[in-house]
Amino acid sequence: MLLAGAGQVAASQAPTPGAPAGPPPGLVRLVIETERGDIAVTLDSAHAPRTVANFLRYVDGGFYTGGVFHRTVTPSNQPTDGVRIEVIQGAANPVRQAPEFPAIELEPTSATGLKHLEGTISMARAGPNTATSDFFICIGDQPALDFGGRRNPDGQGFAAFGRVTSGMSVVRAIQRSAAQGQRLTPPVRIRRIRRATDRVG
């Protein structure tokens, strides 16, 4: 099963050439505020500039305020998958679910050097070059999601672009939440995603 959420565009949609412009290379620290607690994340714009820039335009535009973690993937809820993974998947506010920005070109792990390890944050997608706003966080190392991995039939993997620096206990609590299949019931609300330098309150 592909990591494509309700906010994903059709696989045939091509990204806008050259967009979005990347932030200056370096690390960008964010806080994902959820109803279960906070998850601190550091994004790597030096190695995944296009993916980080895409995520930040949704963050800075407030699209994740009122968003949700809507999917949990556990060893027990993938009965038909030959390659099993463990992740939770988040999305923008459902009211603003339609993509506001064009899909971006995939930055594969073979190009960035970033791997899907414990706590990696990565972009959900359907076909290549279809990622918009849905994202996921890895629980445990997930090499099947890297370039050449067998989770996605096209072998391109997914675009890792940062790591959780604190709050994995919150990630695991969300993964263990009540679900019907892989759908969290109810979804876990994202209060907002903010830059770590933003004022709280």
Please give the residue range of the domain that contains residue 154.
42-195
Whether residue 11 is contained in a domain is answered as no
Q: How many whole angstroms separate alpha carbon 183 and alpha carbon 125?
A: 17
Give the global pTM: 0.87
**Using only C-alpha atoms, what is the Rg of the chain?**
15
The CA distances from residue 167 to 36, 37, 43, 100, in Å, are 10, 8, 15, 29
User: What confidence tens digit (pLDDT) does each residue in 11-40 have?
Assistant: 333 444 444 554 457 899 999 999 999 999
How many structural domains is the chain composed of?
1
Amino acid letter, residue 190:
I
In the numeric block, the tokens 């370096």 are attached to 26
Based on the number of CB atoms within 10 Å of its own CB, is 21 exposed (0-12), middle (13-18) or buried (19 or more)? exposed
Whether residue 189 is contained in a domain is answered as yes
Whether residue 32 is contained in a domain is answered as no
Whether residue 152 is contained in a domain is answered as yes
Say which CATH number the domain at 145 has: 2.40.100.10
Whether residue 165 is contained in a domain is answered as yes
Q: How many whole angstroms separate alpha carbon 20 and alpha carbon 66?
A: 24
User: What confidence tens digit (pLDDT) does each residue in 35-90 have?
Assistant: 999 999 999 999 999 999 999 999 999 999 999 999 999 999 998 888 899 999 99
